[in-house]
Structure 1
Amino acid sequence: MAKFNVRPDIDAAAERLQSTLGSKREIQRLPEVLWEGETVEMLATGLYGKGNGLVAMTSQRLIFLKHGVMSQQLEDFPYGRISSVQWSGGMLTGTLTVFASGNKAEIKQMPKDAGKALADALRARLSGPGIPPAGPAGVPAPQVAPIAAVPDVASRLQTLDQLRAAGAITDEEYRDRRAKILDSL
């Protein structure tokens, strides 16, 4: 696999890609579209609209980036606005359908393994705690969690296990987050 030397989180996610064919320029340009403090957890390739590009699952949103010579395309889906995710796979590729704010976006021709892993990680993220609703201009709004909404330790650990199994977080991130959950007891 090609080395990109872009940023540690992007490099780690890019190394897990089966193929970077058609997405090298997007991987290089990804830091330009990330928000301050936003990290990349998982990458996949796919076709959205008229362009083949890069799908990035970050700490704050799902991004589709196509950076061609003649045109660029960026679409993002903050987690607080995603209502559901659907995956349908064929023999080699599949389609990730994201339902967000009354809209439906289909990212087609995603490699089957990467697409399924990304869909599973998205589902785990959406079912997990603490997804802040997006505010104006896609900036996450401050979140005030009611006391009754705080999940129990078992469900937080289960979500963490799912994220690691889906490849959304590294083993080191898993150990750190698990320790923090257990320290909160």
Structure 2
Amino acid sequence: MGKHKAVRPDIDAAAEQAGPALGSRREIEHLPSVLWEGERVDMLATGLYGGGNGLVALTDRRLVFFKHGLMSQRLEDFPLGNISSVEWSGGLLMGTLTVYTSGNRADIKNVAKAQGAALSGQLRMRLATKGPAVGAVASPGQDVASRLGTLDQLRAAGAISDEEYRSRREAILNSI
């Protein structure tokens, strides 16, 4: 992701995983100031949202869009429990990550293809593991099949390790 000063182990690891094209050094350095106590950063990407380029951070609790400018700061977050679905549409190099929450829609544009695919896959996995919404009726076979499919996509995108893949696959199969 380019050179940045060490911030925190979880943020540094996510920045390293994001690769050299990320380039949101200022946002990365100020990210700890907008995180909740004990919140862990899992993935980072850059994107365009609400008219500004900023940092997209997936944590263990929420998806955060953070822009830290010289004169202003913008923060919008989407708690994972409020996200109903996620959509990824990728072009040749960039794409759009669409997050749906309680009847609302947020389009984060100009996300690098690899980071966007990995973010959407990780979000889908988390949505699949939180179970169906109250009142939803799903066929157990379809639910397991979709969860396994998402898991395969995450491994193919490099968002999870082979060990994590095996562990999560076993957990999904044991839930039958």
Q: What is the TM-score when the length of structure 1 is the normalising length?
A: 0.73
5+ unaligned residues in a row in structure 2: which ranges? Answer: 134-139, 172-176
**What SS does the aligned partner of 2:44 have?**
strand
Q: 1:78 to 1:92 in 2, by over 3 A?
A: same
Distance 2:162 2:73 in 1: 34
RMSD over equivalenced CA pairs, Å: 3.3
Map of 2:34 onto structure 1: 33
Which position in structure 2 is the counterpart of 1:146? none
In the other structure, the counterpart of 2:7 is 6
1:78/1:49 CA distance change after superposition, 3 Å: same
Where has structure 1 moved over 4 Å in runs of 4 or more? 157-172
1:127-169 superposed Cα distances (whole Å, 9 cap, x missing partner): 11379x9xxxxxxxxxxxxxxxxx9xxx6x9687766665555
Q: Any unmatched runs of 5+ in structure 1?
A: 134-150
1:41–1:169 Cα contact (<8 Å) kept: no
- Identity, % of aligned positions: 63
What residue in structure 2 maps to residue 68 of structure 1? 69
Question: Contact between 1:124 and 1:162, CA under 8 Å: does it hold in 2?
Answer: no
Distance 1:92 1:164, change over 3 A: closer
Counterpart residue identity of residue 129, structure 1: K
Partner of 2:136: none
Q: TM-score, normalised by structure 2?
A: 0.77
Whole-Å separation in 2 of the counterparts to 1:108 and 1:168: 20
Question: Which residue of the partner structure matches residue 137 of structure 2?
Answer: none
**Aligned residue pairs: how many?**
164
Asked if 1:97 is matched to 2:101, the reply is no
- What amino acid maps onto 2:22 in structure 1? T
Question: CA 1:162–1:8 in 2, change beyond 3 Å: closer, same or farther?
Answer: farther
Alignment-derived partner of residue 128 in structure 1: 129
